[in-house]
Amino acid sequence: MAHQHRRPVVAPVRRTDQDLLEALRQQFELLKDACSRYDAGNDLDAINIAARLRVILQPPSSLVARLHLAKDLRFRDTSTHRLDPDHHPCIANFGFDVIPTGARWRPLLDGWPDGQPKPAPQRFHLWWTEPIMPASGPQGFDPTPRYSRQDVVLGVANQDGGAHVDHRDAEYDRLTRDHFTYEIAPTVGDRVSPYQPVQGNPVNACLRQIAHEVLITLTLDLPAVIAARGGRVAAGAARPTP
């Protein structure tokens, strides 16, 4: 009679805070590299950006959660959804560039509408879960914020291959598969062109800007937070290059 041999139970090796800080440094560098490739024209790196953001941010097992940083860090908020959409044609935390063939979505990075006060940095939970991203449907574009940063990051990470590939839910499919319709009529000299949709995937631009917010937050705030605890940040957390 065959016997099934059970594998011995092995106790996990727990990571120290310094181990977790080193893991955070590594994720920071991986995120920064993915952003550089995305900025150079590789749209597929939006998937890598989503995966890195998920590891850094998504509770309860994220690095921010395991290091208990959510209560101390204040995340940079570059979303324009609180501004008057009739005077500031930005959506969530990204905008668009006018190009010869119309317009294309782009992250704001350090850009901001002239003359408007920037939002104050936010506590993690509000920053992560507040709806900032609108949607469009059969009736056209609806500027009401519907999707949070968490929704955008986990949508790409969990449904589009950042961490695994799953069936796309209907709302996420409408948002990311050329169903997000926002039209502009570019002005060239004295001539106004016909209205046409902005090109590209708006979720990718949103992801890139979320990464910018995270890189800036960690660069500017994390050293002081760790120093206040009497510790140190692992070497190599350099200022991000948008």
pLDDT tens profile 63-85? 999 999 999 999 999 999 999 87
In a domain? residue 10: no
Q: Quick one: pLDDT at residue 125? A: 98
The domain in which residue 48 lies consists of 17-228
pLDDT above 70: percentage of residues in the chain? 82
Asked whether the predicted pLDDT for residue 28 surpasses 90, the reply is yes
82-96, 107-121, 139-153, 225-239: range with lowest mean pLDDT: 225-239
Per the domain annotation, does 209 fall within a domain?
yes
The whole-number average pLDDT for the span 217-236 is 79
pLDDT of residue 168: 59
Q: How confident is the model at residue 161 (pLDDT cuts 50, 70, 90)?
A: low
Q: Mean pLDDT over residues 225-232, rounded?
A: 81
Report the pLDDT value the prediction gives residue 172, as an integer from 0 to 100.
62
Q: Is residue 2 assigned to a domain?
A: no
pLDDT digits (tens, 9 = 90+) for 43-60: 999 999 999 999 999 999
| 8 domain-assigned | no
Assess if residue 11 is contained within a domain: no
Residue 233, domain member (yes or no): no
Indicate the pTM of the whole model. 0.86
Confidence of residue 1 (pLDDT cuts 50, 70, 90): low
pLDDT at 150 over 90: yes
HEC letters along the chain: CCCCCCCCCCCCCCCCHHHHHHHHHHHHHHHHHHHHHHHCCCCCHHHHHHHHHHHHHCCCCCHHHHCCCCCCCEECCCCCCCCCCCCCCCECCEEEEEECCEEEEEECCCCCCCCCCCCCCEEHHHHHHCEEEEEEECCEEEEEEEEEHHHHHHHHHHHCCCCCCCCCCHHHHHHHCCCCCCEECCEECCEECCCEECECCHHHHHHHHHHHHHHHHHHHHHHHHHHHCCCCCCCCCCCCCC
Q: Is position 1 within any domain?
A: no
| Domain assignment of residue 236, yes or no | no
Between residues 180 and 242, which one has the greater pLDDT? Answer: 180
Number of domains in the chain: 1
Chain mean pLDDT for the chain: 84
